[in-house]
Structure 1
Amino acid sequence: MKKWIVVLALSLAGGVWAEGAWKDLLEGGNLDQWWQKNPSAGWVMEADGSVHLPAGVKGGSLSTRESFQDFELRFEWKISEGGNSGVYYRAAKGKSPEYQILDDEKHVRGQWPVSRAAALYDLFGRSDDSCYKPAGEWNTGKIVAEGKRLQHWLNGVKVVDVEVDSPEWNEAFAKSKFKNPETYGKMNGKIWFQDHGGEVWYRNVLIRSR
């Protein structure tokens, strides 16, 4: 975590987000860079700097105000027991790639590799199960989207690495629930933290262009 803070301090020197520099999406301990449908009863910033969706709250998903296409996103996440969430990118919620956030042990979707934590939801499961930390513990995640290449990382391990429109991709997409191959994974879009009815936390959310 200390390394992230040092990199961030250097990147933000001068107050301008330079090309390739790190940007703190929770800078100032607030949600000024985010949008939510019901801010009075939704996601909240905690004193420790994490953004939290409390149990039983139906605030809707949390979206960045800015759009991104080629980027590296680093974040930490913690899921509640039986919880489900996700990080959407490169388009609108529900129609774009998703980095799955899940309690693999207690949630029913943990039965299927393509919906376990860090999977590219409904397309590619994670390649390594040894790096997953269970509900209640902090995990580190990373998403790299550059051109047609999409990568998911979990606790320092690359667990998904695929190219959009490759034969491998097309085969998986044809078996999935998605029906928009002309736009899926190819668009300039917002980052979304999904409200799926479960309690979840995110912190140290940093992004830079690629």
Structure 2
Amino acid sequence: MDSHLSPTPSGPPGPRRRFPLPRASRASCTTRATRTTRATRTARTTRTPRATGRLAVVAAALLLAAMALPAASAAPATSSPAADDDRVLVFSKTAGFRHDSIPDGIAAIQDLGAQGGFAVDATEDAAAFSPGNLARYDAVVFLSTTGDVLDATQQSAFEGYIQAGGGYVGVHAAADTEYDWAFYGGLAGAYFQSHPAIQPATVDVEDRAHPATAHLGATWDRTDEWYNYRTNPRERAHVLATLDESSYQGGSMGEDHPIAWCQEYQGGRAFYTGFGHTKESYTDPAFRQHLLGGIRYATGAAHADCRPEQGYQSLFDGSSTAGWKQAGPGAFTLDPAAGTLTSTGGMGMLWYEARELHAYSLKLDWKVAGDDNSGVFVGFPPSDDPWSAVDNGYEVQIDATDTPDHTTGSVYGFQSADLAKRDAALNPPGEWNTYEIRVEGERLRIWLNGVQINDFTNPDPARSLLQGYVGIQNHGDGDEVSFRNIRVKDLPVRGGGHHHR
């Protein structure tokens, strides 16, 4: 909702402007450059917990040196020039089977670093796993490592690194590594069990907002060596993609066969992909983008909701708008190939009329093209007038450049998001973000890319969140906002609140 269209907090509605004013009249707006610079700077500074941890591990390294423990900073075998202040260590030591694609993988990651703004060092020397040396890196890539590759001291250093906010990327046989090290098994998410012969298979992409999978379609047909895992990581990790076992021979995990996932783990970020056995993988643009997205998530350069997710029902799966109804002017354009709804014109709202909600977790992925405006309405009665949602419900705002209570993550006109947390979690225009909007009683909480940024309780006896509908806003000409993968999970209904409508 535009900053000039504040909802009436209580009492009879006052005069309303039904169309947004021209953007030139937004006196409260900052410039796009200002907002982007602030968000980028904040994203950097929010690494301070890891930076603080790094100071601690550096001090620990000095102490270890004084105690004459193994050398702390063996020189990497190869390196690429630093393009930014991000740095990634690629570790490819093997104590079992060795993949002949490892050199191709190293070269690919170095290319991705040159393109993506991070330096890459590559080594097979486990002595690189010391507190002082690891503190130099934003993420460590285990590239088809196998067997026991680290001793107890090196394992302890790596645990400290992750707990201080470091990043982990596991590629393919990284799941065939360190079976007796419980910390590593939890970090990787699952251990390798077996695999059939290399063959084509269909990958079902579950999360199309994560930077590792946002470029993919709903399915991805490719040839690789398909791992079966000893356990299913879904309960503790966020699954990005699964294998369709009916599309190939030799799968043993059944209908739910994860092949790529991410998670936050003991203070750090972890991404694992089962792809990457073949040399050809590392020249495949789609796989390279998948790998780059995983690295960007692990380093903290891109953000995603990597909390485990189960039990959600799809309200919009990308294929049709069944159950949805347009209220007011404008529309949303459906692109089944991309799985998106994109706002055009306005000011109107597309609302899910098929079902009223009570206590629930609503998740949806969204992306702005630039300085665009939209929002997600909750808790309003059924109506073909979009202003009914304004006057009777609440809007979770999407707008990068407005006053705090009218910008992204705010409960529009009522409560600002925690701006420091919001800026640290927000991906820039052109990249996908994920909202979770959780309604329990009169309490409304908002997560952005897995980070809670707002906690609001309805104080208005003229409104109620105890029941109502949900919708997405098409704000006006020039506001291009896309939505994907809208889903809901019912939560236990709790008492309290003002009244029932």
Q: Same fold (TM over 0.5)?
A: yes
Are 1:157 and 2:451 matched, yes or no? yes
Q: Deviations over 1:136-192 (max 9, x none)?
A: 221111100011221011111000113333xxxxxxxxxxxxxxx223243421111
Indicate the residue corresponding to 1:131 in structure 2. 425
CA pair 196-72 structure 1, distance change in 2 beyond 3 A = same
Number of residue equivalences: 175
- Unaligned stretches of 5+ residues in structure 2: 1-206, 208-237, 243-254, 257-309, 381-387, 492-501
Whether contact under 8 Å (1:87, 1:98) holds in the other structure is yes
Instruction: Please identify which structure carries the higher strand content.
Output: 1
Helix, strand or coil at the partner of 1:195: strand
Q: Which structure 1 residue ranges, 4+ long, deviate > 2 Å from structure 2?
A: 2-6, 57-60, 162-165, 183-187
Q: Deviations over 1:89-146 (max 9, x none)?
A: 01142121111111x2xx4x2xx21112111111221111211122222111110001
Equivalent runs, 1:191-210 vs 2, <5 Å: 191-197=470-476, 198-210=479-491
Indicate the residue corresponding to 1:33 in structure 2. 323
Return the alpha-carbon distance in structure 2 between the equivalents of residues 183 and 3 of structure 1.
Answer: 41
Indicate the residue corresponding to 1:51 in structure 2. 341
* Aligned CA-pair RMSD: 2.5
CA pair 37-124 structure 1, distance change in 2 beyond 3 A = closer
Equivalent runs, 1:15-26 vs 2, <5 Å: 21-26=311-316
- Unaligned stretches of 5+ residues in structure 1: 11-19, 166-180
Indicate the residue corresponding to 2:397 in structure 1. 100
Identity of aligned residues (%): 27
Answer with 1 or 2: which has the greater Rg: 2
Whether contact under 8 Å (2:441, 2:466) holds in the other structure is no
Whether contact under 8 Å (1:100, 1:120) holds in the other structure is yes
Shift of 1:58: 3.4
Helix, strand or coil at the partner of 2:346: coil
Equivalent residue in structure 2 for 1:115, among 384, 387, 406: 406
Equivalent runs, 1:73-88 vs 2, <5 Å: 73-88=362-377
Whether contact under 8 Å (1:78, 1:137) holds in the other structure is yes
Indicate the residue corresponding to 2:33 in structure 1. none
Instruction: Please identify which structure carries the higher helix content.
Output: 2
Return the alpha-carbon distance in structure 1 between the equivalents of residues 461 and 377 of structure 2.
Answer: 17
Return the alpha-carbon distance in structure 2 between the equivalents of residues 93 and 187 of structure 1.
Answer: 15
